[in-house]
Copies of this chain bind each other. A is one copy, B any other.
Amino acid sequence: MGELAGIDLGGTNIKFGLFSGKGDLLKQWSVSTDLREEGAFLWRQIADEIKNNAEPSELEGIGLGIPGPVLPDGFVESCVNLHLRNFNPAEKMREYFPGMKIRAANDANVAALGEQWKGAGQGHRNLAMVTLGTGVGGSVIQEGKIIDGTNGLGGEFGHVQINAEETEICNCGGKGCLDQAASASGIVRYAGKFLRESSQASVLRGKEIFTAKDVLEAARNQDRIAEKTVEYCMNFLAKVLAMVSYVVDPEVFIIGGGVSNAGDYLIEMIQKLYEPYITLSQKKAKILRASLGNNAGIYGAARLVLREEDEPPVPEQV
């Protein structure tokens, strides 16, 4: 087994990781994404970086995490952050690496694969990941494989319409999406709402603007308005996780993204809110915090290269 290159392609930066076949990170680096002339230089840029940092004869394959939906045949119709349309990333790369094993998948799904391979999800073949950042992303892995779904909706938990009390419209056009409550911006918005609706003292009142991090920190310090906000927002997440359990029943949920930096306080709260919604089984899925941070993408991209036969054997199932 040769070396693996894992690439996390973003609108601002491209992150690179060079791995041993077993998944040891040998080297990592990043460059600014070259988006000039509608990406005319982009694939050349990526290829040059790989060639300058890896020994091509040692390279087993290249994996790419793409910030947009990747269809089952590897085609990408639209990549908003890259301003690119209708391309096949693996084919683009193959021009520079003929005969090389090259694979591409959606970046959120790739991050989940990374967490499963070398992060919080190690040892679990069936898991779901939720990323709480500016928005809410998600991913489902079953028997070690990403579930992309027929139209690329697999794992898009952020747009489950779960909050019947929501008054605003989501970016997606829906109303009451999980994204509107459990994202960083959702937490800030609901804190503002609860501050306006009450005259209770809160450290948040002193600040002209505050972030989700401020709200989570205040909640951990038992600020009542902040606690109410975080519990309100995370209760919707807990409901959606329970629904995911009643669809694919993962062993563990992995919580990533900036909001998850609130740490054990938040993870324990989600676990506690989640469990009562699971009435059909005494055993409950465990909620875990993602452990690879921004590196999950390069790990998962490298993992894409490995084929079924490289995976540990699975007990035979129907």
Interface set of A (CB-CB < 8 Å, partner B): 72-73, 103, 105, 109, 113, 126, 128, 140, 142, 145-157, 159-161, 164, 170, 172-174, 177, 239-240, 242-251, 277-281, 283, 285, 304, 315, 317-318
Known: A73-B315, A246-B159, A317-B72. A149 touches B164 (CB 8 A): no
Asked if B142 and A126 make an inter-chain contact with CB atoms under 8 angstroms apart, the answer reads no
| A170-B279, A279-B170, A280-B156 known; A150+B251 contact, CB < 8 A | yes
Q: Decide: A246 near B145, CB < 8 A? Known: A103-B318, A279-B174, A318-B304.
A: no
Mostly, the A contact residues are loop
Are A142 and B147 neighbours in the complex by a CB distance under 8 Å? yes
> Given contacts A113-B318, A160-B243, could you give 11 more A-B pairs where the C-beta distance is less than 8 Å?
A142-B142, A148-B249, A148-B318, A149-B248, A149-B249, A155-B246, A155-B247, A159-B280, A160-B246, A174-B277, A244-B247
Assuming the A-B contacts A72-B317, A317-B72, are A245 and B153 also in contact, with contact meaning beta carbons closer than 8 angstroms in the complex?
A: yes
Cβ–Cβ < 8 Å partners of A240 in chain B:
243
By the criterion CB–CB under 8 Å, are B140 and A126 in contact? no
Query: CB within 8 A of A172: which of B172, B242, B280?
Result: B280
- Residue of A126, A142, A277 with highest tally of chain B CB at under 10 A: A142
- Considering the chains assembled together, what is the distance between the CA atoms of A73 and B317 in angstroms? 7
Q: Which residues of B contact A128 (CB under 8 A)?
A: 247
Once bound together, how far apart are the Cα atoms of A146 and B247, in whole Å?
Answer: 11
For the complex of A and B, the 9 pairs showing the least CB-CB separation, nearest first, are A149-B249, A153-B249, A174-B279, A172-B279, A151-B281, A247-B247, A150-B251, A154-B249, A173-B279
The docked-state distance in angstroms from the alpha carbon of A163 to that of B245 is: 18
What are some 7 contacts across the A-B interface (CB < 8 A)?
A72-B317, A149-B248, A153-B281, A161-B277, A243-B247, A247-B248, A248-B248
Contact A246 B317 (CB under 8 A): no
A113 to B317, CA, bound (A): 14
What's the least CB distance linking A318 to chain B, in Å?
Answer: 5
Question: Shortest CB–CB separation between residue A88 and chain B, in angstroms?
Answer: 14
Residues of chain B lying within 8 A (CB to CB) of residue A159: 246, 279-280
B140-A247 in contact (CB<8A): yes
A154 touches B248 (CB 8 A): yes
Residues of B contacting A281 in the complex (Cβ-Cβ under 8 angstroms): 151-153
Residues of B within 8 A of A142 (CB): 142, 147
> Is B249 a contact partner of A161 (Cβ separation < 8 A)?
no
CA gap between A170 and B276 in the complex, in Å: 13
Cα distance, A277 to B160, chains bound together (Å): 8
Judging by beta carbons under 8 Å apart, are A318 and B249 in contact? no
Contact yes or no, B146 A318, CB < 8 A:
yes
Tell whether, in the assembled complex, residue A153 and residue B280 are in contact, meaning their CB atoms are under 8 Å apart: yes
Cα distance A164–B277 in the bound complex, in angstroms: 13
| CB neighbours of A170 from chain B (8 A) | 279
Q: Which residues of B contact A109 (CB under 8 A)?
A: 318
Docked Cα-Cα span, A242 to B155, in Å, equals: 12
